[in-house]
Structure 1
Amino acid sequence: MNLLILLLRRSRGAVALAVFFGLLTGAASAGLIAHINAVLTSGGTLADRATVLGFAALGALMLGSRIGSQLLLTRLQTRTTFALRDQLSQRILATPLRQLEELGNHRLLATLIDDVQAVTQGLLCIPPLLIHGGIIVGCMTYLAIMSPMVFAALLVFAMLGVASYLLPMRHIMGLLRHSRQTNDRFFRDLRSLTQGLKELKLHGGRRTAFLKQELFPTAEALKQLQVKVSTLHTFTTSWSMSLFFFFIGLLLFALPGLTPVSTSTLVGYTLAVLYLQQPLESSMTMLPMLGAGTVALRHIDTLELAAAGSPLPLSSGEPPAPPSRIDLAGVTHAYRREGEDTPFTLGPIDLTLRPGEILFVVGGNGSGKTTLAKLITGLYTPESGEIRVDGRSVTEGDRERYRQLFATVFSDFHLFDSLLGLAEGDKADKARAYLTRLQLDRKVRINDTGALSTTDLSAGQRKRLALLTAYLEDRPVYLFDEWAADQDPLFKEVFYRELLPDLKAAGKAVVVISHDNRYFDVADRRVRLESGAIVAEESAAAPTLSARPRSAL
């Protein structure tokens, strides 16, 4: 029902019209059976011109209404599927980063790949199911009119068949839900396989343990669940369909001995029951797919992503005006780290960013530096305290616009295959000039649309390419998270002694997370974090508050 509601939300009119066409298909099918029955029981004497024309008209009506219903619902299903993908992508982007990190990439990938595919398959089942429903209603109506007494016997068998099908289906739905949960673990193991290739190849014991304790058991559990669903559904469907042949046997051999039944009724019922077998069998075959789609849709809802009615607003790409200062006042953020019983708390943090100033954030691993960076950039929401821009507090409604102040290169950055809107017009020439300065011009080319010839580079070169993207964004605040960690000594010198001072001279506020203590003199200020708290702050020189803007490179 969840999938049908999804279609109804998309277009009630199209669904209602498709249902009408489905019922029309059923009525035409019943009329065809009535014509066939009449001709058979008359010995062919009714095969006159009027009967032939009536048969042809009903056949054309059935074909047209069936095609109309199928086309309407198929087009609606296609639009709904793509709208679901688009909406889900926007909901993920609109969901707070911390919540997405807690869900895990493997669950998000399973949702985007498997859940959406299951929903799509479920939606594909709805058009034929509605058509089959119309045929069943039409034929049953014809049978009820032909002989109410025989129809009552048919209803008894039908209810027995439905009960014998629905009871196992409840168990099948439970298996489908369990299978969906197991699928999340399987995606987690596949991610470990692809991301841990080097480690698994270098250590035979770890590789064997991973395969035997993680990947293979999860895959086996998933396989067993799918086999159980398939086996149980096969037995259930076969038993339910055999009841129709039992009914035909009783109709032909037992019922005439109990009560007078006309030949016309026997032939009509036999034809109708045999005709109903195909849509009923097809419907029962599709119900598990419909159930899997319903489970997938419910699983999407359990992720508790941002509401579908409030997708992430699309930014024009133009950042707000450069602020004169950004203040973090008593900001805190708490979360539970993997493997730890107690939550880690960052803060309270009091910190100020100013244009034309380089701020270094230093501290040991696990001190909260990257968490602080995500708070500064608005990717995390403070649990207490506030962030102010020129004295004005950043509210939830302002947070999207606030994030546009920052150009960043995080330690776990993603490098796109294109500059994505950052190379229009003269920016393409500027990007090529940056490539030369970053010593990438012999490795990478940029075409007029901003597509990169390759991103298959060393870790240090990929970070330089990410730095190029940050330069092209030309934002008021730049944040680098351990950017120089993968650079050779020569380019570390270029980064700290040339590139950072250039950004400072251009009037940018620069935040650098670094362990390179030999370059600490580059900073105007340094703050040291330990266990989520600022334990020291040092000023190397008075900041330049009114630096005259110029090109960063």
Structure 2
Amino acid sequence: MKQNLILKLIREQRWLILFGVISSMASALITIGTLSLISSLISGELLPYDLDKLTGLYSLFGLALILFLMSFLSTLSLNRLGNQVIEELRLYLIDKVLKSSLQDLEKIGWNRIYAIFTTDVPVIGQGFRRFPLVVLNGTIIVTAFVYMAYLSFDLFLVLAGVVAVSVTFSQSTLVRKIHIYSDKFRTSHDTLYKHYDDLIHGFRELKLSRDRRKQIIEGDATENIGNMATQANKRDMFTAIYTGWSVFVSFFAIALIIYLGSFVFAVSNEALVGYSVVLLFIRGSIMNLIDAVPVIVNARVSLNKLSKLEMAEELATGRQIDISTDGVTLSFQQLRFRYETAGNEAGFALGPFDLTARPGEVIFFVGGNGSGKTTLAKVMCGLYRPTEGKILVNGVALSDIDMTSYRDLFSMIFFDFYLFNRVHDDCLSAEQQQLLDLMLHKLELQDKVVFDQGQITANKYSQGQRKRLALLATVLESKPIYFFDEWAADQDPEYKAVFYFEILPMLKAMNKIVFVISHDDKYFHVADQLLRMDRGTIYQVPTGAAATVSARSVERAQVDSLLMQAVVE
């Protein structure tokens, strides 16, 4: 994945990269030309008080202007490259997540995915933003070495040997240690985000339990944060050693070159001056490269994290599933699902089960906690891939390539639902506006919610109101199949009556298939089919039995409905 991602980014930005490299090389050549001219002035070949040789000064001024222009162009183009790469990377990751299966994402863990978006993407961005400096300074150093080889090849061989020994030691020891502790630090970040998640979403429970606070926050989180500090300190220690070593080698190289050029090799004064000027000048470029190394190492660690994400893309969309005004018929034949587990231990199994749902049918799933109702919902909606069996739409069996189109048939409210700010499109048809007004009235939200171009303008709503807003948005989607996972569980009695006696019949009249996970036994008689679940096994409850189950509650439910109608009127 990492190589493919880098190649993709390079391919898409190849012209910007080419322009940046060419302008950087031109800037480096001009820099060395300027240094050559300066060394000639210092050595006395061009004297500023010699009126016949003032051309040298004019040339120096002209080269400085050209150098400014080329440096500006190269830095601007490569900075723009870095920004565009980050934009592409963010869009790539969003697309990658959306094309992955829910099962893969749950295996990875949401804290790791969150860490990638909030930590790895910015770190990779910092690495790419250092890329302009690396290209520019690297080109200057290479060009300077070529120029020094021209001045004295013997001194160049000595300098090359010193650089080779220094780089070998740095890469094999110091940079490797920086990479090791950067990787450990980044790995600890995944755990840190899990602790953040515990703190934010478990705040109420933590406030109520001293023992839990001590175990999770004061224990696990404190230990992990302490480990991160230790890893960061060790990483920074080797970074400091690497920087100090590079400074030492640069000055040692200058002293060695001057000594050998003066007492060992027959080197001209002009060549020695040229070496001294160039080495002193490129020391700034060398320090820029040294400063970039830890940033690039961190970017490499983050890229490795991305490459280890096991997010296989689901197959592209196959055929478009036909949806008629009469709705769709959905069938499941011998459908099975089993969770994958590490080792030989058998995971939770669901099925086999057979079910046919026709347009205008309301089907309830009931059963205790842990019986597999939510897992069944994810399998039926296509979020989990069945282990065995067939899914048929209008009598046609679906293949893996059809699952994207199949999922688009559903609109679902999960028990742990998420409410998006955008509830409906900017422009609604007259029919959609009528449905919106009707739903707002039924759910008593007409005086509580204000929309701005389809978005909710406030976010201070109770959990019950948020869930009713989610129901509103779901109904407005006008999908052929609806799935409600215990929607009415935390609603007041009057809204339960609206849901079971008004919303469900309305969807039924619109030829929608409606699946409901429910514990409200007094409303079981509303269902056309009642399915009971127990440890992954599904039992069909006869319609008469369903009516018997809820007979004691029918009268009370009807009273609730009449009271609600009176309130509406």
TM-score, normalised to structure 1's length? 0.91
Is the CA contact (8 Å cut-off) linking 1:428 and 1:450 kept in structure 2? no
Is the CA contact (8 Å cut-off) linking 2:332 and 2:356 kept in structure 1? yes
Q: 2:279 aligns with which of 264, 268, 273?
A: 273
Q: What is the CA–CA distance in structure 2 between the aligned matches of 1:313 and 1:284, rounded to whole Å?
A: 48
- 47-56 or 116-125: bigger deviation: 47-56
Residue number in structure 1 paired with 2:464: 460
Q: What is the CA–CA distance in structure 1 between the aligned matches of 2:312 and 2:304, rounded to whole Å?
A: 15
Is the CA contact (8 Å cut-off) linking 1:22 and 1:133 kept in structure 2? no
Q: What is the CA–CA distance in structure 2 between the aligned matches of 1:455 and 1:341, rounded to whole Å?
A: 45
Which residue identity lines up with residue 498 of structure 1 in the other structure? Answer: E
Which residue identity lines up with residue 208 of structure 1 in the other structure? Answer: K
Q: What is the CA–CA distance in structure 1 between the aligned matches of 2:238 and 2:57, rounded to whole Å?
A: 45
Q: What is the CA–CA distance in structure 2 between the aligned matches of 1:519 and 1:300, rounded to whole Å?
A: 48
CA shift, 1:11, in A, is 2.4
Is the aligned partner of 1:411 residue 2:415?
yes
CA shift, 1:425, in A, is 4.3
CA shift, 1:76, in A, is 2.0
Residue number in structure 2 paired with 1:126: 131
CA shift, 1:339, in A, is 13
Which residue identity lines up with residue 515 of structure 1 in the other structure? Answer: H
CA shift, 1:423, in A, is 5.4
CA shift, 1:315, in A, is 13
CA shift, 1:164, in A, is 2.6
Is the CA contact (8 Å cut-off) linking 2:319 and 2:402 kept in structure 1? no
Q: What is the CA–CA distance in structure 2 between the aligned matches of 1:290 and 1:10, rounded to whole Å?
A: 21
- 116-125 or 45-54: bigger deviation: 45-54
Is the aligned partner of 1:98 residue 2:100?
no
Is the CA contact (8 Å cut-off) linking 1:478 and 1:510 kept in structure 2? yes
- 515-524 or 7-16: bigger deviation: 7-16
CA shift, 1:338, in A, is 10
Q: What is the CA–CA distance in structure 2 between the aligned matches of 1:246 and 1:338, rounded to whole Å?
A: 56
Give unpaired runs (5+ residues) of structure 2. 547-567
CA shift, 1:322, in A, is 5.1
Q: What is the CA–CA distance in structure 2 between the aligned matches of 1:338 and 1:456, rounded to whole Å?
A: 43
Q: 1:41 aligns with which of 31, 34, 43?
A: 43
Aligned to 1:416, the other structure's residue is in SS state: coil
Is the CA contact (8 Å cut-off) linking 2:482 and 2:514 kept in structure 1? yes
Q: What is the CA–CA distance in structure 1 between the aligned matches of 2:330 and 2:296, rounded to whole Å?
A: 52
Q: 1:343 aligns with which of 328, 341, 347?
A: 347
**CA shift in 2, pair 1:231/1:320, >3 Å:** farther
Is the aligned partner of 1:385 residue 2:392?
no
Equivalent positions of 1:311-390 (< 5 A) are 323-336=327-340, 341-390=345-394
Q: What is the CA–CA distance in structure 2 between the aligned matches of 1:319 and 1:418, rounded to whole Å?
A: 25
Which residue identity lines up with residue 482 of structure 1 in the other structure? Answer: E
Aligned to 2:455, the other structure's residue is in SS state: coil
**CA shift in 2, pair 1:435/1:417, >3 Å:** same
Is the CA contact (8 Å cut-off) linking 1:405 and 1:475 kept in structure 2? yes
Which residue identity lines up with residue 529 of structure 1 in the other structure? Answer: M
Residue number in structure 1 paired with 2:66: 61
Aligned length in residues: 540
Q: What is the CA–CA distance in structure 2 between the aligned matches of 1:496 and 1:138, rounded to whole Å?
A: 78
Q: 1:217 aligns with which of 209, 216, 223?
A: 223
CA shift, 1:479, in A, is 0.9
Which residue identity lines up with residue 84 of structure 1 in the other structure? Answer: L
Equivalent positions of 1:127-526 (< 5 A) are 127-167=132-172, 168-253=174-259, 255-307=261-313, 323-336=327-340, 341-421=345-425, 424-426=428-430, 427-428=432-433, 430-447=435-452, 449-526=453-530
Aligned to 1:480, the other structure's residue is in SS state: strand
Q: What is the CA–CA distance in structure 1 between the aligned matches of 2:343 and 2:196, rounded to whole Å?
A: 21
Identity %: 32
Which residue identity lines up with residue 42 of structure 2 in the other structure? Answer: L
**CA shift in 2, pair 1:130/1:316, >3 Å:** farther
- 394-403 or 140-149: bigger deviation: 394-403
- Moved beyond 6 Å, runs of 4+: 310-320, 337-340
Q: 2:25 aligns with which of 23, 26, 31?
A: 23
Q: What is the CA–CA distance in structure 1 between the aligned matches of 2:364 and 2:342, rounded to whole Å?
A: 27
Aligned to 1:456, the other structure's residue is in SS state: coil
Give unpaired runs (5+ residues) of structure 1. 543-552
Which residue identity lines up with residue 382 of structure 2 in the other structure? Answer: G
Q: 1:9 aligns with which of 11, 28, 34?
A: 11
Q: What is the CA–CA distance in structure 2 between the aligned matches of 1:443 and 1:388, rounded to whole Å?
A: 42
- 394-403 or 6-15: bigger deviation: 6-15
Deviations 1:345-369 (A, max 9, x none): 1111211111111111011111111
Aligned to 1:441, the other structure's residue is in SS state: coil
Is the CA contact (8 Å cut-off) linking 2:500 and 2:523 kept in structure 1? yes
Which residue identity lines up with residue 358 of structure 2 in the other structure? Answer: R
CA shift, 1:26, in A, is 1.4
Q: What is the CA–CA distance in structure 1 between the aligned matches of 2:340 and 2:224, rounded to whole Å?
A: 26
Which residue identity lines up with residue 27 of structure 2 in the other structure? Answer: T
Q: What is the CA–CA distance in structure 2 between the aligned matches of 1:179 and 1:90, rounded to whole Å?
A: 27
RMSD value, Cα:
2.7
**CA shift in 2, pair 1:34/1:82, >3 Å:** same
CA shift, 1:223, in A, is 1.9
CA shift, 1:304, in A, is 2.4
